[in-house]
Structures are given as structure tokens and as C-alpha cells.
Amino acid sequence: MQLRKVTAATAAVLALTVGATACGGGKKDDNGSSGGGKKITIGIKFDQPGIGQKTPQGYSGFDVDVATYVAKKLGYSPDQIEWKESKSADRETMLQRGDVDFIAASYSITPERQQKVDFAGPYLLAHQDVLIRSNDTSIKSPSDLNKKKLCSVAGSTSAQNVHDKLAPKAQLQKYPTYSACLTGLQSGAIDALTTDDSILAGYAAQSQFKGKFKLGGFKMTNENYGIGVKKGSPLKDKINKALEDMVADKSWQQAVEKNFGPADYKNEPAPKIGDIKS
């Protein structure tokens, strides 16, 4: 049985006047990208280890690697990228305003979002899953979460969806962040944490947690990660070509192994452009 995560409602905004330039700087060329030393502005998550994270050393994660590869194919070196935090509730607004050129931020393609923005990709097929302790043999299916303490993070509906649809006797425990959930999972205060498997793998791959957790492999939803662009942007086709190149030259698989490998993440094969799994 599949679930669909409820996304945060976004405010309706008016598009800026035609011809406005991206905040990353510089006049854009006829292809919808800037060059010649100009900047490109890319939206990512700043707080998702393994996906998109800002650290004292810079930016890291699978989405960062994908975005950097795409930017290079568009003619930009890493030092020409301006990274901008794109929180889930702000993504459509940022694209519509022209705050960013594109967004790669665990951004699931949905019909509702496609009414507001365009998507290149998908470039990763993720699934809602659970993270449990490596030595836990009691949770082998979603129904085994009944009477278990399931971490519920503020602003996320994943745990509530599991409670409502698959494990009605699951005991939801509210924590402020996923990092706090991991600490609770490690100590035994909670039994499981749920969100996208890619996000869980990124957290579990952190050095302090290596070998301590495992994914359930339940695949409770399909989450097709796409790269968001403004409606009608000519960048969409260029990004799609870059994503195809990334798969073909093995850079995509290398990025998966680099960012998710320590969590023993069983990733799906790279999706075909335009192949959105419901």
C-alpha cells in the first residue's frame, strides 16, 4: 500500500517581469544560462546530511554533487556556483521569483508542484522507509511498527501517515529534528524513524552513526526527485541532457556510493528522464 507525503502549502506569488535576471548575477544569454565568469544560483538543502548540507568545509551531499555536475555541463565551474538554502515550503516561490536558476533539494515531482514549476529528471527514485537499529530483528514489515515508538519530526507527516495507514498502534514520539531522532534511536528511546530512504541513508552514513542503523527496505512510497526550474525555462532540456550524461559516464553511481554507501543503501537504478513512478 502506498502513501503520499503531504507537502507544505506554499504561498501563491506573481512572476517577476519578463527579462529579470537571476539573483546569481550577470546578464543571461539566449540559452537561458549565463557564462563568461558569471554566477549561477542553485537551491539546495543546507541541513540534510548525504543530500545537501552546509558545513564549515563547504557544501556536500548527493544533490550537491548532481547540481555541481549539471552546472559544469552548463558552463560553470564550482567557484561560479552560489548556493542558496531552499527549504521545502519555499521552493516553488524561489523559482517563480527568480531567486535561483534551479533547485536540487530532495524535491519530489508531484502533479501539484508541476502546476507551478517545471522539472528536469527525475534523477533519483527514493521511497519512504524506516531506519532502525542494526541489531533490531523485531521490525521486518510496516505492521511490526505497531506498539513501537516511531519518531515524529515537527513539520513532517511521514510518521503520521504510517500511523494512519499501516500501523495504527504505533506510538508517535515528537522530536524537533531528524538528528534528535537518531540520538533517540541510538539510545533506545525510540524504535524507528521514518522519511525518504535517501534522507535516512544520508543521516545514517554520518561517521558517528556508521554501522549502528539499517534501513527497513519497506518502499512505502515512490518519491521521484527532480530538478526544479521556473515554468518555461530553457534550462530544463539542458539539465535533462546533463543528467543523462552523468548516468552514462558513471558519475551518478559514484555520487550514490559516496554519499549513501556507508548506510548500505539499496538504491534504485538511475531513472529514465521523464519516467515518473506513481
pLDDT of the chain, 278 residues: tens digit per residue: 444 444 444 333 333 333 333 444 433 443 444 445 699 999 999 999 999 999 999 999 999 999 999 999 999 999 999 999 999 989 999 999 999 999 999 999 999 999 999 999 999 999 999 999 999 999 999 999 999 999 988 778 899 989 999 999 999 999 988 889 999 999 999 999 999 999 999 998 988 898 899 999 999 999 999 999 999 999 999 999 999 999 999 999 999 999 998 787 889 999 999 999 99
Residue 5, pLDDT score: 43
Rounded-to-integer distance, Cα 84 and Cα 96, Å:
15
Q: Give the span between the Cα atoms of 66 and 227, in whole angstroms.
A: 10
Q: Which three cell numbers stand for residue 184?
A: 533517540
Domain ranges in the chain?
Answer: 40-126+224-263, 128-215
Pairing of strands 149-153, 223-229: unpaired
| The dihedral sign for the CA sequence 156, 160, 165, 171 | positive
Supply the pLDDT for residue 31: 41
Strands (E), 160-243: 171-175, 192-196, 213-215, 223-229
Predicted local confidence at residue 262, as pLDDT = 78
The Cα–Cα gap between 204 and 50 comes to: 9
Burial of 236 (0-12, 13-18, 19+ CB in 10 A): buried
For 237, the grid coordinates are 532540456
Is there a contact between 173 and 149 (Cβ–Cβ < 8 Å)?
yes
Query: Hey, which CATH number is domain 40-126+224-263, 1.10.3720.10, 1.20.1250.20, 3.30.200.210, 3.40.190.10?
Result: 3.40.190.10
What CATH number does the domain located at 128-215 have? 3.40.190.10
40-126+224-263 matches 128-215 in fold: yes
